[in-house]
Amino acid sequence: MIKILFIGDIVGRLGRETVKKVLPNLKKEKEIDFVIANAENLAHGMGVTEKTVAEILEAGVDLLTSGNHLWDKKDYQGVLEKHPEAIIRPVNYPPEVPGKGYRVCKIGGSKILVLNLIGRVFFPDDYDCPFRKVDEILEEFKNENLGGIIVDFHAEATSEKNALGFYLDGKVSAVIGTHTHIPTEDYRILPEGTAYVTDTGMAGPLDSVLGVKKEIIIKKFLTQMPQHFEVQDEGEGIFNAVYLEIDPKTKKAKKVEKIKKTVKL
């Protein structure tokens, strides 16, 4: 079996510190072969920097996926240029957008394809259709001897995520939802062998609203006035991830398991 750990959106410094504290022991305990994490909130909750990407790679993450917040820091171009093999962006952005949307990664004697998609429902931007785009990519790799295909679907709507999961059932090894920071409980293997969960949750501050200081968000709801968001960077950390076992001969998932840990930092 190929053993993969997928960590949900890593939010800010507290999220990075939580990963650094949890990941080493978890890798040993589960004998994990490959670690993927969503990095769009890596640098103080919005975007990435060279320093934060290097920090999380050094902590033991092998590949970073992302989403709509990848572009929130000015030096995103430099990050993508310096770490071209370590970070991908949603593949259904227009082709002129910097970076790549998928990566073929070697794991022992096998290769896996990791693919990043972004949803369209409730997003203000007009992305290409994720359903049709993933079909294009799968057609491109249909003759490749792959041991597994992992999809990070970065989307708002649970219905859109659920529909894509069923659409790709039997075509990919796993469809893992990210973006909303709240873990769902629908971990399962679909009828044709694809592991699925609507949202992995986040690695970040436990006592927060999606990673942001709770007082700020409460004030926004009470006053309906714009607020300057500040990421919670003190207190307990929450670590949400998905553990997968994939049969490289069939590319089907044999196990999907929720990982949830809280740590004091």
pLDDT reported for residue 77:
86
Q: How far apart are CA 265 and CA 255, in angstroms?
A: 31
Q: How far apart are CA 128 and CA 80, in angstroms?
A: 21
CATH 3.60.21.10 fits 2-264, yes or no: yes
Q: Which residues are CB-neighbours of 195 under 8 A, at least 6 positions away?
A: 173, 174, 175, 176, 187, 188, 189, 242, 244, 246, 253, 255, 256
Whether 99 has a pLDDT exceeding 90, the answer reads yes
Residue 81 binned pLDDT confidence (cut-offs 50, 70, 90)? confident
Three-class secondary structure of residue 69 per DSSP:
helix
> Could you confirm whether 69 is annotated as catalytic?
yes
pLDDT in tens, 131-147: 999 999 999 999 999 99
Q: Which of 69, 154, 179, 181 is catalytic?
A: 69
Q: How far apart are CA 205 and CA 237, in angstroms?
A: 5
242: left (phi over 0), alpha (psi -120 to 50) or beta: beta
Q: Which residues are CB-neighbours of 223 under 8 A, at least 6 positions away?
A: none
Residue 82 binned pLDDT confidence (cut-offs 50, 70, 90)? confident
Residue 251 binned pLDDT confidence (cut-offs 50, 70, 90)? very high
pLDDT in tens, 146-196: 999 999 999 999 999 999 999 999 999 999 999 999 999 999 999 999 999
